[in-house]
Amino acid sequence: DWKMQDVLEEEIKVIKGMVRPDEHVICALSGGVDSTVAATLVHKAIGDRLHCVFVDNGLLRYKERERVMSTFQSDLHLPVTCIDASEQFLSKLKGVKDPEMKRKIIGREFICIFDDFAQELEQKVGKRPTFLVQGTLYPDVIESCPPPGSGMTHSHTIKSHHNVGGLPKDMKLKLIEPLKFLFKDEVRKLGSILNVPELFLRRHPFPGPGLAVRVLGDVTEGNALEILRQVDEIFIQSIRDAGLYDSIWQAFAVFLPVQSVGVQGDQRTHSHVVVLRAITSEDGMTADWYYFDHKFLVDVVRKICNNVRGVNRVCQDITSKPPATVEWE
């Protein structure tokens, strides 16, 4: 792709001109496509004066930390520090049920950790980092500042969409946003030129607050997160095996804070209910629920009930957006 090859070379030139040889740059990797492609591009321009951090907030999917760290290190050779902050996040979330409150707490913790990371880096390299890399895309730019008459609204007013984007203002970091003029499909092409694995480039979007908005209510109660991870993994793996992953915008499981009566052998059970949700969408602003065939659903429900202890009922969410949102919180 010639156009993206040009974009790449141009961006590298711009970044090299922007960051002086003695300056350092930091980047928070979320595990998503945008921050990964942005960091890989910047790394190509300035090498190991880029310092990335990936935070495990205890709200990641099944084996997510291992999987993304392996892509960052083995495939992309990015200089990345992995911080396991799960205890810290989960202790702050204990007893919190309100969705917006959960988002706020997660955002705040993230900023604390990122701050510490920047300070430790200053100790290590003897210089305060001066730049921050962000994977902002063109639609994000328009959305946070919709051109008059564009008919676009702020989705932010519906849910406080916290991305790793919301970072300390008093850090006075200059921004490097190499994807600012690109759309998602262009970012994928760029990623492909930068050797980001195809499988990674096609990953479904995942919300910043992670599984916290998919366990309704208090995320620390019982083993909700563990159950959700197992159910989600079975669902996603089944979707991949059926060759449906790329036809779906987002698919995931939701954990409900209720128990229902079931029967297993001749035993009555009182166990958890989970919901499967899969949607198609152009941009997440509106969405249609995805139609699975009968056999797929039968198989997936059987797999979940046979393999995940503590689940005796599986429902499917067949509500579009609107009136529902994509996430349940």
Annotated binding site for ATP: 30-36
Whose Cβ is closer to ligand XMP: residue 121's or residue 275's? 275
Whose Cβ is closer to ligand XMP: residue 131's or residue 252's? 252
Please provide the DSSP assignment of 174-196 as one string.
Answer: EEE-TTTT--HHHHHHHHHHTT-
H/E/C letters for each residue in 36-73? HHHHHHHHHHHHHHEEEEEEECCCCCCCHHHHHHHHHH
Return d(Cα 284, Cα 276) in angstroms, integer: 17
CB of 212 to ligand XMP, least distance (A): 9
Whose Cβ is closer to ligand XMP: residue 191's or residue 209's? 209
Return d(Cα 197, Cα 33) in angstroms, integer: 10
For 166-178, b/e burial (b = at least 16 CB within 10 A) is ebeeebebeebbb
Retrieve residue 77's tokens: 């050779």
> What is the contact surface with ligand XMP in residues (CB under 6 A)?
103, 159, 161-163, 205, 207-209, 213, 250, 284, 321, 325-327
CB of 284 to ligand XMP, least distance (A): 4
CB of 204 to ligand XMP, least distance (A): 8
**Identity at 240, one-letter amino acid code:** R
Whose Cβ is closer to ligand XMP: residue 158's or residue 263's? 158
Torsion of CA 69, 71, 77, 82, to 10 degrees: -10
Whose Cβ is closer to ligand XMP: residue 159's or residue 180's? 159
CB of 121 to ligand XMP, least distance (A): 25
Return d(Cα 39, Cα 110) in angstroms, integer: 19
The H or E element containing residue 303 is helix 294-307
CB of 297 to ligand XMP, least distance (A): 22
The SS3 of residue 217 is: coil
